[in-house]
Structure 1
Amino acid sequence: MDLSSLDLKDVCNLKSFSGTVPLFPLSTVVFFPNTLLPLHVFEPRYKQMVKDVSTSERIIGMALLKPGWESNYYGNPEVYDVVGMGRIVSSETFEDGRINIVLYGLK
């Protein structure tokens, strides 16, 4: 997808938003509105998340992990209360199942 041709009215339209988004927690990423965030998705649980949202609203919440997250990474690590929401505007799946996506930060 050529990101220069994005229709921001369509990308930012939240009229049909269900109010629920899956969280993608990372330790070093803070996601802001009106920015693009490229992600390389390789863990099975997050690959499944991308597949799931790709058939609906294409929205993911990017959450910042709180300190000490390492001890509970594969469980339910704590995240900060404020998250950045983004819509998948580009996606590429590789033969081995890894996925490159680009999120556009919503406001």
Structure 2
Amino acid sequence: MTTFDDRERAFETKFARDEEIAFRITARRNRLLGQWAAGLMSLTKEEADAYATAVVQADFEEAGDEDVIRKLVSDLTAASVTIDEAAIRRAIEDQTVEARRQLMSSE
């Protein structure tokens, strides 16, 4: 039975590590999205940092990306930036790739 117990622990450890990496990639992606949107809104460096943090926190409202998309659409529209949801979804894809690249190169 020890072999099966060891295998089970190994799978649990791998699952936990994969989930942690996915969380870190999403958090970094959201920070990058916040910085991208802050650039579109012409925010100062301090405002951009605060906004990026707000975007990361917005992701905790519900599962999935819809809460982040809603925040970005709302904030960009309020700042008179003309952008559609499809462009934001493309930015999410681009920033996910960049976040993964940054995370993998830092390890």
If each structure's helix is expressed as a fraction of its own residues, which one has the higher value?
Answer: 2
* TM-score class, shorter: under 0.3
Larger Rg: 2
If each structure's strand is expressed as a fraction of its own residues, which one has the higher value?
Answer: 1
